[in-house]
A and B are shown apart, each in its own frame.
Chain A
Amino acid sequence: MEVQVNDSTLIKNYISGDERSLEILIQRHNQRISSFIYSKVMDRDITEDIFQDTFIKVIRTLKRGSYSEEGKFLPWVMRIAHNLIIDYYRKSRRLPKFEGGDQFNIFSIISDEKLNIERQLIKDQIDVDLRVMIEELPEDQKSVILMRIYKDMSFKEISENTGVSINTALGRMRYALINLRKIVEKHNIVLTN
């Protein structure tokens, strides 16, 4: 019957110069570490590279006598592998830059959808002006427009809420918009962005 020497004994033996102990350690944990790396990177060649780099770090640390986590060899190796996986993803995130030349400007096909600060200020001002104008409307029209535009309610919900038919709610909305246009024309208000 074969007696299995534990990891910490093998590490001690390896540090003392027994190279065979390293081979046993690698073979013992090969499958577990390789499968762990592969589960993160999903590429056999990269798995091989990270596995190799992991054990190079292990060998250097052991040979330098810097290893102190006795009895926790596998978690320690797994942590090294984990850190190398993170490094790999950090490096691969640095994608090649695509810069436009004289013939082509990259900004012609990509743009920022967000309003710039000036347009945002104008929009805010329009919102305030519109709210002031809505306050000038008759109460029934005002409530319909507030429910439809600001509360995003359907006309069915508005009719249920106000106790009128859908057609009446639609009619009030129509008159509210007509009256808002009248206010805009009467006072020469400019609402553009």
Chain B
Amino acid sequence: MKNNYIEPQKEQTVLKAKPETVSFLLAYSKALKVTECNGIKFEGNLN
């Protein structure tokens, strides 16, 4: 009887972004420079 009242557990997929994606983001962050001139913000990618 007990089995009738137990809902099947949904399989939760746990995953992480690949290390390549993380290192890309870190490299992007390092390369991105924001400069403000006369109240306007300019984005520059110093790669």
A residues with CB within 8 A of B: 19, 22-23, 26-27, 30-31, 33-35, 38-39, 44, 47-48, 51-52, 55-56, 59-60, 63-65
Which of A31, A51, A56 meets B14, CB within 8 Å?
A31
Residues of chain A with a CB closer than 8 A to B30's CB:
19
Task: Identify whether the interface residues of A are mostly helix, strand, loop, or mixed.
Answer: helix
Other contacts beyond A30-B16, A34-B17, A59-B28: 4, CB < 8 A? A19-B26, A48-B17, A63-B29, A63-B34
By size class, the interface of chain B is 20 to 34
Given contacts A59-B28, A60-B43, A64-B41, contact A23 B22 (CB under 8 A): yes
Q: Which of B13, B15, B26, B32 counts the most chain A CB atoms within 10 A?
A: B15
Counting chain A CB atoms within 10 Å of each CB, the highest count among B17, B18, B22, B29 belongs to B17
Q: Across the interface, which residues of A come within 8 angstroms of B41, CB to CB?
A: 64
